[in-house]
Amino acid sequence: MSYWLPRFIKEVRRKDKKPYPADTLMQIASGLQRYLRQVSCRAEVNFFDKYSSTFAEFRDALKSRSGELSEEVHNGRGKRIQVDNLNDEQLWQSGYLNATTAKGLFHAMFYYNCVELEITSMEEHHELKVEQFNFSRDPTSGQEYVEFKRTDQRYYNMSNNKKMRIYAGKEDPKCLVRLYKTYIDLVPCSGPFYRRPLQTS
């Protein structure tokens, strides 16, 4: 399986022979993982565990192919984003991540949920709730933080982290605590975390 999956992700196409969008590839990968776990009783399968070497080639292939497709999309819109060694700074400079538009803020939440909170399963993204996030201050240092709590044992067993904290960076113009506060203040105080941005935003 570890041999064929990377080749599959590079070659899979729609019925009209056109490539799937990058986010659809991730959904396909998540669907395959869910099938293996639930139907084939392979509960140990985790394509997205960055500490496991079993599917490292598959993750590299998925990242590479998604990067190629994302670059094609951005080139078509007249704004090129270098996907090799893509980092936070490039995403902010390109405008893909920002705190001033609904889409940019939405993208930022999804990105940092993946990178900082290790939410790599599409299932967990889909089931994410606003109530899982809480803002507080460290009683010793007084530093503000946002705490994320996994409520489903399936997910914190996968990540080995039931609770995670991100601390505020006072001098950081892209302070993640401030970013999460901005987003959560704009959505209902309970229910699904992700809200579709308005097309005009």
Indicate the number of domains in the chain.
2
Query: Does residue 80 share a domain with residue 98?
Result: no
User: What is the pLDDT confidence band of residue 123, given thresholds at 50, 70 and 90?
Assistant: confident
Q: Quick check: is 17 in a domain?
A: yes
Residues 6 or more apart whose CB falls under 8 angstroms from that of 109 comprise 179, 180, 183, 193, 194
Distance CA 193, CA 188 (A): 9
Domain boundary among the residues 86, 114, 131 is at 86
Let me know whether 1 and 59 are in one domain: yes
Q: For residues 86 and 194, which has the higher predicted lDDT (pLDDT)?
A: 194
pTM exceeding the 0.75 threshold for the entire prediction: no
Structure tokens at 107: 């993208």
Residue 27's nearest CA partner among 70, 76, 71, 62 is 62
More confident residue, 97 or 25: 97
Q: Where are the beta strands (DSSP E) in 67-181?
A: 133-137, 144-149, 163-167
Residues 185 and 97 in one domain: yes
Tell which wins on pLDDT, 161 or 90: 90
Give burial (CB, 10 Å; 0-12/13-18/19+) of 161. Answer: middle
Distance CA 170, CA 177 (A): 10
- Domain boundary among the residues 86, 105, 120 is at 86
Structural domain of residue 38, as residue ranges?
1-86
Q: Domain check: are 65 and 80 in the same one?
A: yes
Query: In the chain, what is the greatest distance between 2 CA atoms, to the nearest angstrom?
Result: 60
